[in-house]
Structure formats: C-alpha cells, structure tokens
Amino acid sequence: MPYSVLQPVKRKRRSRSRRPLLLLGLALLIGAGSLAATQPWAHAHGQRSHREEAAIKPSAVSEQALERLRAAAVEQEVAANAPFAPGTRLLLPAAPRLEELPLRPISAPAAILVDANTGAVLWAKRQHQRRPVASTTKIMTAVLALEHLPLTKVVRVNPLAPRAALGREGLRARERVPVWKLMYGLLLFSGNDDALELAIATSGSRGAFLDLMNQKARQLGLRDTHYTSPSGVVDRGNYSSVHDLAALARYAMAIPRFRAITRTHIAHVKWSKPTYAKTYVNKNQLIGTYRGADGVKTGWTTIAGHCLVASARRGGTRLIAVVLDAPDPYGDTRRLLNFGFANS
C-alpha cells in the first residue's frame, strides 16, 4: 500500500558510533606509555623523588668561603663600574693645545683646562706643581665609596665620625644611614664626618682607607698626589696638582652616580627622627648659574686657599677646569671655561 502524507512513518533508529570512544581510549594508552618512557630519563637527569630530596642535607659553608665569595663579588662590581680600562691615560701628555691663544689673566698660581672627552690639555699653568687641595680630596673618597659600597647599603655611624674636625653635617654616633645619603653630605655639603664614615665603612678603618686612596692614585697614574686625609681637612702631607685633579675629575665624571650627585643644586633628603629631613645645597656656585655646569667639587683651608674643580658641558663638548689657591676661583674658572668653549 502506498504511503499517504497523513500516514505516520516509522524511521529506523541509528546505532551510536563507538569511534570517538575508541579514539579517546587510544589517546589515553599513548599518554600512559609516554609517561612511563620518560621516567628513566628523568631519573637519569637528576629529577629525584620526594623521598630522595628529603634525604639530601645541605652542607654548611665556612665563613672563610663566604668571605671569598663576597670579595669576588666586590671585585666584579668594581670592574663593571670602572669607567676606564686599567692603564688608560686620563690626560694626554702633549703640550697644551690652546696655549698660544690669548686668555685673560688667571689669578690662581696653578690652573688647568682639559677636554674631558679626549683627555687633551687645552691650557695649563704650573700643572704639575704639588699643592694642598683641601676638600677636593673628597673626589677620591667618593670614587672609592661608589666603587666598593652599594648605594643602598645601610651603615651604622662609627662613633669616630661625629668627632671629625670642622665642617660636620651632624651625623650621630650609631645611627643607621644608607650610603647614598652620605654621598650627598660628602659632595654637596662637604661634610668631614661623611668623609670619615664612608672611609671606615669602605675599608674598616681610616688608616686602611688612606692606603686604598694612595693605591688608587698610583693605579690612575696620579704621580703628583698623596693623601693623608679622607676629607682634606688636614693639609700636611695631603697634596695633589691641577693636572692630577683634572685627571681624577675626568675619571669620576665618567661614573653616572657621581655625575648625578655633583650636578644637583639642592637635594631634600628624608632622615630618621629626631632630624626628619635635611636639605643639602651644593657649595659649587657654578651649579645653576653657569650654563652647562655639572660638577665637581669645592675646597678651602687656610693653607690651601680657595680650590675649585669644575665641569661643564655644552653640546658635545665637556670641559674640566681646576684652580688652586685662587683669589677669585669662580672668575678664573668662568674665564677658563669660556675660553675653552669659544675655541672648541
């Protein structure tokens, strides 16, 4: 009988395919086999079970071994931060390049002008004469502290530091201060207590730090230089020359952190109670008044007179000027820098 459109039609039920289940089972078998195969390889390559790891006991490290590791880390840090390769001439030995050109009289008995990019001496007056250098000594103190102490290291102020002669910023015995704060006190305020504290923190004692200062001077080829003080407050036996100070300034200004601090005009620094805060004003009067000035350090004692190591940059030219025992240190320095920029 033919089907009518009104007659219900019974459809045959399709059987469900078992193919997806078979594929899933096959995948599980393959995964289990792969896991089993990797166990010998993992064991052979050092992946131990929890029981094996629990059985391993760490061996104690001696204090001597730790000290050797610390010393090696410091040496690596110093090598990484060194701005010049060992043996590099910081100043070129050739005759001053601009000595034949007219320059207004310089009142200082010893002065120099240097191209900081090349190390060429542009103009000089008694460049190798050994003279007391007052607080420009702190350039070397800052260099060594930056090369040997992490800026974030917190030091406990040695009781000797607050008793440093003259020019103290007011460190308190046994207060805890990070190195970077002491650096502002050293280079902007020119604190003698900062200098002594950084010396002791770097080398363990004032005497050991003086040995380090003189060793560094020899390494840098500063033949006119000898240190008997980390601050320069002592003139006897503490001397350098405008040549060596310019060379040292070139080395120091290649250290980014040193450069960042010495170009700062005013720094507001939080402090622990009961001080709460300190404001450091850079004693270098060129900062903020002479275009391009970005360092470096002032100094004065009765014997040394007014000393100034200055740095300035305009465009691609950077100059370093040094005057010692100058009746008019800023006038002399401005004349030297203007002369250099005009003839560069």
Phi, psi of 123 (to 5 degrees): -155, 145
Give residue for tokens 């690596």.
76
Q: Which of 175, 195, 178 is nearest to 186 (CA)?
A: 195
Give residue for tokens 């110093």.
78
Helical axes 138-148 vs 192-203, angle rounded to 10°: 40
* Residue 143 CB neighbours (<10 A): 21
- Check 10, 12, 59, 138 and give the catalytic one: 138
* Lookup: tokens for 279: 């404001």
Which residues are bridge partners to 306 per DSSP?
Answer: 300
| Helix or strand run (H / E) with residue 275 | none
For residues 121 and 116, give the distance between their C-alpha atoms in angstroms, rounded to a whole number.
9
Q: Is 138 in the active site?
A: yes
Q: Is 135 in the active site?
A: yes
Q: Before 121, cis peptide (omega within 30)?
A: no
- Check 125, 181, 190, 203 and give the catalytic one: 190
3-class secondary-structure state, position 288 = coil
Which residues are bridge partners to 113 per DSSP?
Answer: 123, 321
- Check 10, 12, 34, 135 and give the catalytic one: 135
Number of helices (H), then strands (E), belonging to the chain: the values are 10, 11
* Residue 116 CB neighbours (<10 A): 20
Quote helix, strand, coil % in the chain, to nearest 5: 40, 15, 40
Residue 188 per-residue DSSP state:
I
User: What residues are labeled active site?
Assistant: 135, 138, 190
